Amino acid sequence: MGTPSNCSSVSSKRKKGEKSKRNSMRSTMGELLVLPFLSRFPIPCDANASHSRIQKDYFGVLMAYGGLQEFLREQKSEFTANLVRSRVLPLYSVSVCLPYLVASANWILGELASCLPEDISADVYSSLLKALQMLDKGDTSCYPVRASAAGAIVGLLENDYMPPEWYPLLQVIVGRIGYEDEENSILFELLSSVVGAANENVADHIPYIVSSLVAAISKHMHPSSEPWPQVVERGFAALALMAQSWENFLREEVELDQSSGKWESGQAAIAKAFSALLQQAWLTHIQPLECEVSAPPSCIDDSSMLLRSIILSVSERNVIEELKLSELLLVWADLIGDWHAWEETEDLSVFDCIKEIVNLHSKYELKNFIVRQMPPPPAPPVPPQSIIEGIGAFLSEAILQYPSATWRACSCVHTLLHVPKYSFETEGVKQSLTISFSCAAFSRFRAIQSKPSSLWKPVVLAISSCYLCYPAVVEGILKKDEDGGFALWGSALAFLCSSSLEPRLSLESEIKLAVLTLAKVVERLLGLGNPGSSLLQDCYASLMEAAVQLKEVQEDEENDEGDDEEAEDKEDDNEESEDDDEDSEGDECEETEEEFLERYAKAAVNLENNTLVEEGDVEDQEHDIELGSLDEVDQLKVVASSIERYHNVIMQGQTLSSQLISKFLKAYPQLTYLLLHS
C-alpha cells in the first residue's frame, strides 16, 4: 500500500516497528496457511500417477516449495526433513515415468541441501543417484531429470556429504559420458566435483576412469576445431583434477612407504592414456614436411597438468620414446611461447610443468631441449625454436605483462639458467635467454621501482641470476636506461639485503644468490677506480650483512634438522591436540568484517591512483631458488677477492662512513669463517 508523501515522516517509525513484526509472523503465516494449503494436493503414486490433473497440480506444489526455499531454510532442520521425507522423496519410488516432477524434486533437494540433517542426506543421495540413471522413455527425454540430479548431487557434496561408496556414482557418471554433448559437459562438471570431494577415496578407480574418459573425449576432438568444443574443455579439466588427485595420493603412499607395483602399473596406464590424448590433440596437426606446429591453443593449463603427469611417470629412457614425450614437449613449448590469454586464466600448472621438464632433462638429456635439430629439405636450413627457447619466451612475457605470475616466472628463470648443463656449442642459447630475461625483469622493475613492494624481490633476484651468468652483457643492457639502470638495480639489491621489507630474503638460496651477486658488483665497482662511491659502499655493507645472515641461516637449518628428529618421535602422541590447536588458530586468524572492509578500501584507493600491484599468492613467494649449475667454489673466490680488495681500500685510509666500518668489523670474522667453511 502506498503512503502519501506528507505522512512519510510520521509513519517511518511505525514502519520500522511493523517490519520486525512481519518478520516474526512470517514463519507463522507459512506454517498456518501456505504449507497446509499445499498439503491438500495428493502426492502422485502408482494408483493415481496416470491422472494428468494430479501431475499438473503437484508440479505446481513443487514449484511452490521451490519458491518457499528461503522460508524452509530458516526453519529447524527436523521440520524441513519431515517435509522432504513426506512430500518429495516418495516421487522417486513411483513406477510411472514422471520426468518433469522428478526434475523439479531434484531441484528442490539441491536447493535445500545445506539445511538437511545428516540422517536424511543418505536417502536424498540415494534418490538422486536413481534419478541420475533415468533413461529416456520413448519420445520423452529425461535429460532434465539427469541434469538436475547432477546439480543436486554437487550441492550435497559441497555441503560435506560423503557417500558410503563412491564407485557406484563414478560408474554411473562414466557410463553416461559420451551419449549427448550437452549432457557430457554437465557430467564432466559433476565428475570434477566428485573427485575433488572424494580425494584419496577414489584413487583406486582413477586409472580405470582416465582410460574411459580419454576414449570418450577423443570422439569429440577434431583437428580443425579451434577452440575445442566445451565438452572437450571440461573433459580436460576433469582429467587434470584426477591427475592432481593421483599425484597427491602417490605422494602420501611414498611417505607411508606403501608404494607397490599396483600403483606403478596405475601410473603407467594413466601416462599412456594422457599421451594418446595429447598426441591426438597436437601431433595430428603436423604435416610430414612442416617444421612448425599449428595446434589449437586450448586448455593450456589443463594440458600442462596432463603433461606433467606423463613426465612424473618416466623411470627409464625408453619410456620417453614410447610416450613420444619429446615430440609433445616441442608442441607444448611452441604453444606456451605464443600464449597471450592471461586475461582469461592464470596458467599456474605451466610453471610446475617447466620445473619437471628441466629435471627430466637433467636425468635423460631430452632431444631438442636446448637446440632443435635442423629440419629436413626442402625446409630452410634454420633450426626452429627449441623446447627451452619456447619456455623462455613464455617466461619473459609472463614477467613483462602479468604481475600475478611474476613470482613463479622469476623462480623458473633461475631454474632455466642454472640447472641445465650448457655446452660450448649451446652457450649462445643461454646468452639469448639471459638477454631476454634481464630485459623483461628490468622493464618490470622500472614499472614498480618508485615504491618498494614485495615484487621487488623476484625481479631483482632474476636480474641477479642473469648477471652471474653474463655480467658484461647484463650490465650493458642495464646501462642503456637513461636513469642509470645498473645503479638502480644495484641499489635495489643492496636495499633488499639490508631492509626489513617483507617478504625479506629468508631462504638460504636467496641469500646465497644475493651474496654472490653483490660480490661481483663490488668487484666491478672497484675496477672502476672510485672506492668512495655511495653505491659501492652500500653494496659492500649489504654484502657484509647478507654474508652474516647466510651463515646464521645455515646454522639454524642444522639445528632445525636435529629438532625435527625429536619432533617426529612426539608427533604420534600429539596429533589430536595439534588438530585442536590448528582449529583454534584458524578461528583466531579469521579476518573480521572491519578488517575486510579496510583492506578493500585501501585496494580501491590504490586502484584509483593506479598504484595497485598484483603480487600473486603467498605460496608463490615461498619457492626456493634452484642454483644447480653455479660453480659455488669459483663464486666464493669472487667473494673472497672482493673482501680482500675492499680490505686493502680500508687499509689505505679511504674516507668511509663510520657505519660501514662498523659493519665491516662486525662481519669480517664471521665472513672469513663462512668462506673457509664453504
**Can you tell me the distance from the alpha carbon of 105 to that of 127, in angstroms, rounded to the nearest whole number?**
10
Cα 200 to Cα 219: distance, rounded to the nearest angstrom: 29
- Positions of the chain with pLDDT lower than 50, given as ranges: 1-17, 20-21, 25, 287-291, 293, 344, 575-580, 582-588, 610-613, 617-618, 678
Strand partners, 137: 140
Indicate the SS3 state at residue 570.
Answer: helix
| pLDDT tens track for 112-154 | 999 998 889 999 999 999 999 999 888 888 999 999 999 999 9
In angstroms, rounded to a whole number, what is the distance separating the alpha carbons of residues 524 and 501?
Answer: 27
Kindly report the number of other CB atoms within 10 A of residue 610's CB atom. 6
Quote the pLDDT of residue 612.
47
Report the pLDDT value the prediction gives residue 500, as an integer from 0 to 100. 67
Q: How many CA atoms, within 13 angstroms, populate the side-chain half-sphere of residue 410?
A: 35
Cβ pair 194, 170 in contact under 8 A: yes
Closest CA to 546 of 523, 517, 521: 517
pLDDT of residue 138: 83
Sequence-ordered alpha helix ranges (H) in 68-117: 69-73, 77-87, 99-111
Ordered alpha helix ranges (H), 402-533:
406-418, 427-448, 456-469, 471-479, 485-498, 508-527
Kindly report the three-state secondary structure assignment for every residue of 206-229.
HHHHHHHHHHHHHCCCCCCCCCCC
Whose grid coordinates read 635439430? 373
- Dist CA 236 CA 185 (whole Å): 11
541, 659 Cβ separation under 8 angstroms: yes
In sequence order, what are the residues at sequence separation of 6 or more whose Cβ sits closer than 8 angstroms to the Cβ of residue 563? none
